[in-house]
């Protein structure tokens, strides 16, 4: 009887978006959820963030080289440091692996970890190794620093401020679509040789993303301190909702201003005539670009900076986050539902 009552009162995780789920599970805790935890007093703050990747959920070993996986695990953790306008200094890596993996396989994984650490002047200082009954789980804890006066949270956006993003959006998801297409064909015919020619950029965006530490340095060089910032890990819509919810405001972005690479458009046209590149940008995820807001007074500086795009502006509290199409139609932005693992 008790089991029946439990089932009747059960709420599926997939019914909540990620933002709503985080709000629910952190209710009652005295903490503000952001890209990193901020620790310490004084002029310099310590940033701490944790990212977990689960085989079969976050990566597929059928098309993920272990060296790329190691690099990506570090890169996405460092992206959270960049999203707080900080600088990474060290990481801890914990892994759980089954006996399906050899010592040589782990050597390859850690070669990728080392490569990313070296590239971003970050030191591996610890971690843990455990046994898994199936597959692999990787958890990276990244530590960084930021000046108290320039550290950037999600909650600082104000009405009329400009919304900016870096790079292009949707290309990582386009890379995933290509890999999944080739996987399905291979499973149907093991003699099939995948044809990945011409998709180099999209594939690299998915398999080997880069944290935008270059943008953090560029903003500092031009004396620009974003008023709010986050990284684009689960699509532009999700990231915009993080900022607008934390800042208690709305936003208006313009579809025609969203930066979308031609390979993303090409992949969408190949997959389905109904698949729109803008959907990849809004909901695809794993681009790890930076989304941030700046004051109107920074417009001239931002406009002149390569690799940064002004895509909209912040609206007043109570207004919804929306996208305006070229036909001047307004679409409310919603985050994708959080997908838990089925038991």
Residue 18, classed as helix, strand or coil, is: helix
Please name the helix (run of DSSP H) or strand (run of DSSP E) that holds residue 142, with its range, or none: strand 136-147
Give residue 15's pLDDT: 75
- Does the domain at 162-332 match CATH 3.90.650.10? Answer given as yes
Write out residues in the chain with pLDDT < 70, as ranges.
Answer: 1-8, 17-19, 30-32, 273, 337-343
Whole-number pLDDT of residue 8? 63
Alpha-carbon span 260 to 28, nearest angstrom: 40
Opening angle at CA 105, ends 104 and 108, nearest 5: 90
Report the pLDDT value the prediction gives residue 18, as an integer from 0 to 100. Answer: 66
What is the domain partition of the chain in residue ranges? 34-147, 162-332
| 82-102 per-residue burial string, b: 16 or more CB within 10 A, e: under 16 | bbbbbbbbebbbbbbbeeebe
Confidence at residue 204, expressed as pLDDT on a 0 to 100 scale = 97
Q: Cα–Cα distance between 58 and 260 in angstroms, integer?
A: 23
Instruction: Please give the pLDDT value at position 237.
Output: 97
Q: What backbone phi and psi angles, to 5 degrees, belong to 226?
A: -55, 150
Distance CA 255, CA 278 (A): 7
Q: What is the DSSP-derived secondary structure letter of residue 256?
A: G
What superfamily in CATH does domain 34-147 come from?
A: PurM-like, N-terminal domain (3.30.1330.10)
């Amino acid at each position: 009887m008790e089991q029946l009552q439990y089932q009747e009162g059960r709420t599926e995780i997939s019914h909540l978006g990620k933002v709503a789920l985080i709000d629910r599970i952190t209710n009652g805790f005295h903490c503000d959820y952001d890209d990193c935890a901020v620790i310490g007093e004084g002029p310099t703050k310590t940033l701490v963030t944790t990212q977990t990747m689960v085989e079969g959920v976050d990566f597929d070993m059928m098309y993920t080289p272990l060296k790329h996986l190691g690099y990506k695990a570090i890169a996405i953790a460092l992206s959270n440091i960049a999203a707080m306008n900080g600088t990474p200094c060290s990481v801890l890596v914990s892994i759980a692996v089954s006996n399906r993996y050899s010592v040589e396989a782990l050597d390859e994984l850690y070669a990728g970890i080392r490569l990313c650490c070296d590239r971003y002047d970050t030191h591996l200082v610890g971690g843990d190794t455990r046994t898994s009954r199936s597959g692999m789980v990787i958890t990276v804890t990244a530590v960084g620093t930021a000046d108290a006066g320039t550290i950037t949270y999600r909650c600082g956006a104000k009405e009329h401020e400009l919304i900016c993003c870096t790079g292009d959006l949707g290309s990582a998801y386009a890379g995933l679509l290509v890999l999944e297409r080739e996987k399905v064909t291979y499973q149907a015919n093991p003699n099939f040789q995948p044809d990945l020619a011409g998709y180099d950029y999209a594939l690299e965006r998915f398999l080997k993303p880069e944290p935008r530490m270059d943008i953090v340095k560029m903003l500092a060089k031009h004396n620009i301190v974003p008023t709010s910032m986050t990284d684009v890990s689960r699509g532009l819509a999700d990231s915009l909702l993080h900022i607008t919810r934390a800042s208690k405001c709305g936003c208006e972005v313009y579809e025609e201003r969203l930066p979308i690479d031609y390979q993303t458009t090409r992949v969408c046209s190949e997959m389905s005539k109904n698949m729109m590149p803008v959907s990849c940008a809004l909901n695809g995820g794993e681009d790890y670009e930076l989304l941030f807001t700046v004051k109107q007074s920074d417009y001239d500086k931002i406009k002149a900076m390569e690799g940064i795009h002004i895509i909209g502006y912040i609206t007043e509290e109570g207004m919804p986050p929306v996208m305006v199409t070229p036909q001047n139609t307004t679409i409310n932005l919603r985050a994708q539902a959080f997908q838990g693992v089925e038991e």
